[in-house]
Structure 1
């Protein structure tokens, strides 16, 4: 096997951020926050996170935050979403810059997305998906605010989405999907912790 072409990967990742007018960039504009997280994580794994202008990245990230405390997928996008909020928090954690946000405000945004049955909506429009439960738990864990939600109800909801084949669905009764199974693993681990408490 050949050696990993690290510098080529770095150049490619950095070039993607600069190409804002091509077709691919325009149609994926709504995913820019998550794309930033994926790209920055790749650079970190390559040991090249220092190739990024941290001030510029954080400034852009903060311009995606809404008054509610949540983050949108890009500058000027109408509504925040729990997915982009996690990506933003992960980027801040990657740069060790959690001090630039109001953690309580971000926490309140996520807390307000928990439904009575323990599930989480992705945004103000109310779509429920066990991935959003996973995202909420991850985000609040990074913020050290997991105690602000009803963890027991969140775990019970995720476990209620387990199917007879052992997999998990997006919602109660939804077909099993590999993309949902991490939520089940997280719920099982948190549930084990709850039983020990």
Structure 2
């Protein structure tokens, strides 16, 4: 698989169709579904923009308009909502920071953001930490989840503000979420799930504490998520779903065990989920496409080193070259 032109037709990625599909998503404002998904607008912009960068079409959406939209979602607190007028939340704030990094626009946040720019965003995120347990809430209403812990460490490290939170306490909380099978749940004692494994491994990676991970035991559990059709599921006895291409593969990548799944079968399954004519990927073959599965299908192909797809960072879920730019790495 040294070049995309050498692959058989059924293993070709319909890249041009996927670019057009992503470009079309903000042109459907007369459709009911567009307004039903308003709560995903900022996340959707992150998914779409990142997918375009992975497809090597980074300029397919207007950069200025994207930045303006993100800034229109910010509150005086520094946090961001899903769309203008929506409450600020950790998850949308993380997506906002990721978009600024993706577009090399952190200077725009500094100049045009609310209050003190990056510092204001950092304060919003840091204030959501439970200083007794180390974990984080998603918003002022207090729901706690390892997704929010990871999101805080992700965004704060990208902003250079990780010192604003108690990282050691956060690490202790993640360690308390570990299970006998090597995996992690949403909270101590909760069932192991691929999505929560990703959040915990990525947070430990940012904190420099991957030494706490039982790589072989966890790698075994994760590799067992591959089912007969080649796809991956999130936990035992569940159906395969393209979105788990990311949650499972990124975790395997962080512990150096990506080769424990059948790469060729997973690529074939993923590409069978694409609409080659109209663009987009679905959860499994024959279903309707959406931007969520398009994004995670492409991130999975990136981790599988599919030809023509940009390399992605398994911790930050951003193209590697953007992470290298932020942290000053060569290459």
Q: Give the shorter-chain TM-score range.
A: over 0.9
Question: Match of 1:148?
Answer: 164
Return the match for 2:95 from 87, 98, 121: 87
**Does the CA contact (< 8 Å) of 2:154 and 2:203 recur in 1?**
no
- Structure ranking higher on relative contact order (CA contacts 8 Å, 6+ apart): 2
How far apart, in 2, do the equivalents of 1:105 and 1:45 lie? 30
1:5 aligns with 2:22: no
Deviation digits for residues 123-161 of structure 1 (CA, Å, limit 9, x no counterpart): 111000011111111011111111111000011011111
Q: Cα distance 1:55–1:114, how it changes in 2: closer, same or farther (>3 A)?
A: same
Deviation digits for residues 15-40 of structure 1 (CA, Å, limit 9, x no counterpart): 01121232322221101111000000
Question: Match of 2:145?
Answer: 129
Q: Cα distance 1:191–1:53, how it changes in 2: closer, same or farther (>3 A)?
A: closer
Secondary structure at the aligned position of 2:75 is classed as coil
Q: Cα distance 1:156–1:187, how it changes in 2: closer, same or farther (>3 A)?
A: farther
- 1:71 deviates by 0.5
How far apart, in 1, do the equivalents of 2:13 and 2:194 lie? 29
How far apart, in 1, do the equivalents of 2:138 and 2:211 lie? 25
Larger Rg: 2
More helix per residue:
1
1:192 aligns with 2:200: no
Deviation digits for residues 47-79 of structure 1 (CA, Å, limit 9, x no counterpart): 1121221111111110000110010011111x1
Secondary structure at the aligned position of 1:108 is classed as helix
1:171 aligns with 2:187: yes
Q: Cα distance 1:45–1:187, how it changes in 2: closer, same or farther (>3 A)?
A: closer
Structure 2 unaligned segments of length 5 or more: list them: 1-7, 110-116, 213-331
Secondary structure at the aligned position of 2:104 is classed as coil
Secondary structure at the aligned position of 2:209 is classed as helix
RMSD of Structure 2 on Structure 1 (CA): 1.7
TM-score by length of 1: 0.92
- 1:8 deviates by 1.4
Structure 1 unaligned segments of length 5 or more: list them: none
Secondary structure at the aligned position of 1:14 is classed as helix
How far apart, in 1, do the equivalents of 2:200 and 2:14 lie? 36
Question: Match of 1:37?
Answer: 46
- 1:7 deviates by 2.1
Secondary structure at the aligned position of 2:59 is classed as helix
**Does the CA contact (< 8 Å) of 1:167 and 1:181 recur in 2?**
yes
Report the more deviating stretch, 22-31 or 88-97: 22-31
- 1:6 deviates by 2.3
Q: How does 1:101-112 map to 2 (within 5 A)?
A: 101=109, 102-112=117-127
